[in-house]
Structure 1
Amino acid sequence: MSHPARFTHENIPLNIDGVQLDLAVLHRTGPKAPILFLHGFGSTKEDYADITLQHAFDGHTFIAYDAPGCGETACTDLSRINIPLLVKTAQAVLKHFEIDKFHLVGHSMGGLTGLMLAHGEPQRVLSFVDIEGNIAPEDCFLSRQIHDHRREDDERFFHDFIERTRLASDPASALYAASLVHKVRTGAVRGIFESMVEFSDNGELMDKFLALPFPRQYMYGVTNSHLSYLGHIAAQGVQLACIPDCGHFPMYSNPVLMWQHIKALQDRA
């Protein structure tokens, strides 16, 4: 028995500042406003594939892709991968699909990428759901391990990182850790983490986030309710979405509520 395709899966060749990519993409076209999804470190485009099962999003064009260094995307120079290259990749994807205005959803590394993308061209973004993306130095609980647990050998660092993550008490952390070795190229880890820490410490991310002129939502798991800036950003007009029974990974721990909150913000926009 055959089933209708939920989305199209294709590979797009891109050249980003001399780095050749064979970008693995999921997408669907429709008459409603496009949604660009950016996954987090150690995740893939499939984090968002179930949008096609959420009838509230019927008719929306959407795009999700594996970031360079992740998933099924091939990259000729893993050492060049950092946040600026990830932003340029997102810009190239939007250009390829001829998308002007769009809703933006980014998780963790994808939230930081999305913030820099939106900061550069705020007139194109309809709304932004930032799922525990970096906006302050305290957000580097994963990426800062590149400094706090320093290893000269990248394979050794990544192995130890996976073991620490597997044993962490955060909900879905063990599930996340189990697939890290399959979803991330070891050669991409250092550049991504060092870049995330640099931007979080010195990139004035909070100012950039609060200056965005469209509806914004900051989604976080209840185990991260201690984040010091939540009250501040709420007072500045950012919609907060606290996900119960959840840590850093709402798409694994509580996806139903994640989709509901995403739709609520996009409807507001």
Structure 2
Amino acid sequence: MPSPQIKLIDIELRNRTYQLEYFRRPGHKGTILFVHGLGGAKENFWEATKTHLLADYELIGFDNPGTGNSTYYADEPLRVDDLAFFLDAFIKQLDLKDIILTGASMGGLITLLYFQSAGVDHVKAYVNIEGNLMPEDCMFSSKVVQHSYEHFASTVFDETIKNMKKYGNAGYYIIANNLELNTNVQSYYHYSFQTVSYSSTGKLLQQFLALEIPRLFLFGEKNQHLSYLPQLKGENLSCHMVADSDHFIFYDNPKGMYQSMANFLDEV
């Protein structure tokens, strides 16, 4: 398999230039574009570049502003609406077509907001990995919005990292390390508010159900209690549990996750 290359792209927003870092691995079968969630990064999907299950696909993942090596300006807090803009601009600048768009956690929200503004013309299939659809999906962001920024930045952010490391789950531990080393605390705080507000209405679930493209919803075995799973399973979409995993499926069981994706894509 060819090796992924790390690249940079400049995107303009409100008269400022944001430089986003991304990886791109060549492939001929189609393009899978990964969108990470709150506290995540493009490296969440690095295992995809190593598995034979997706060997023939072009793979792309980028760091949202405030994460990894992408730009974030302290004097201009961004919202999730802005992340949907960056996704749209990224797709247009790279001239991506027939994408398998894949969003995890808050990345699911970003991708659904992208669909609201840009439609599905550039997307041939959609994978949602425990993306935000209902209030119960805001397990991290709902706690963030209870605090002032000053209190969150000085106390709660570090407590969040410590608690995630104590959780006893590989995915939580790796994400906690990313929060500690590669996440701008201001971005984490401000993204949480729209994550909560958009998830509170139930409209995201209805939008997901109404999409007229092939869809796959992936959830971890420990999250079988999600209240809307029976509704998803009753619709004309694929809904699959990934064994031995919690919320961060791409770390807990990457082989199982990418096997589920490969099986789905074989039918697209």
Q: Same fold (TM over 0.5)?
A: yes
Given that 1:40 and 1:111 are in contact with CA atoms closer than 8 Å, whether structure 2 keeps it comes out as yes
Given that 1:33 and 1:102 are in contact with CA atoms closer than 8 Å, whether structure 2 keeps it comes out as yes
1:26-65 matches, within 5 Å, as 26-65=23-62
Cα distance between partner residues in 1 of 2:35 and 2:6: 16
- Residue 84 (structure 1) aligned with residue 81 (structure 2): yes
Given that 1:171 and 1:245 are in contact with CA atoms closer than 8 Å, whether structure 2 keeps it comes out as no
Q: Which of 124, 130, 133 is the aligned partner of 1:132?
A: 130
Cα offset, 1:148, TM superposition = 4.0
Cα offset, 1:14, TM superposition = 1.3
What SS is found at the alignment partner of 1:10?
strand
- Residue 103 (structure 1) aligned with residue 132 (structure 2): no
- Residue 193 (structure 1) aligned with residue 192 (structure 2): yes
Cα distance between partner residues in 1 of 2:202 and 2:134: 9
Given that 2:134 and 2:201 are in contact with CA atoms closer than 8 Å, whether structure 1 keeps it comes out as no
Given that 2:2 and 2:26 are in contact with CA atoms closer than 8 Å, whether structure 1 keeps it comes out as no
Given that 1:29 and 1:60 are in contact with CA atoms closer than 8 Å, whether structure 2 keeps it comes out as yes
**Cα shift readout 1:233-263 (whole Å, capped 9, x = no counterpart):** 1111231111121100111111100101111
Change (3 A) 1:78 1:213: farther
What SS is found at the alignment partner of 2:236?
coil
Give structure 2 stretches of 5+ with no counterpart. Answer: none
**Cα shift readout 1:169-219 (whole Å, capped 9, x = no counterpart):** 556323322331112101112210011001101371111111110111111
Cα distance between partner residues in 1 of 2:84 and 2:149: 27
Given that 2:77 and 2:186 are in contact with CA atoms closer than 8 Å, whether structure 1 keeps it comes out as no
Cα offset, 1:77, TM superposition = 4.4
What SS is found at the alignment partner of 1:74?
coil
Other-structure match for 1:216: 215
Other-structure match for 1:146: 144
TM-score when scaled to structure 2? 0.91
Change (3 A) 1:65 1:78: farther
TM-score when scaled to structure 1? 0.91
Other-structure match for 1:256: 255
Paired AA for residue 36 in structure 1: L
Q: Which of 7, 10, 22 is the aligned partner of 2:7?
A: 10
Cα offset, 1:149, TM superposition = 5.4
Cα offset, 1:29, TM superposition = 3.1
Cα distance between partner residues in 2 of 1:78 and 1:237: 45
What SS is found at the alignment partner of 1:32?
coil
Cα distance between partner residues in 2 of 1:262 and 1:19: 37
CA RMSD of aligned residues (A): 2.0
Change (3 A) 1:23 1:248: same
What SS is found at the alignment partner of 1:81?
coil
Paired AA for residue 130 in structure 1: N
Cα distance between partner residues in 1 of 2:215 and 2:172: 26
Identity of aligned residues (%): 28
Paired AA for residue 122 in structure 2: R
**Cα shift readout 1:60-88 (whole Å, capped 9, x = no counterpart):** 22211111110111223474322111111
Paired AA for residue 121 in structure 2: Q
Change (3 A) 1:266 1:134: same
Greater shift after overlay, 106-115 or 55-64?
55-64
Change (3 A) 1:229 1:86: same
Give structure 1 stretches of 5+ with no counterpart. Answer: none
Change (3 A) 1:101 1:205: same
Given that 1:162 and 1:177 are in contact with CA atoms closer than 8 Å, whether structure 2 keeps it comes out as yes
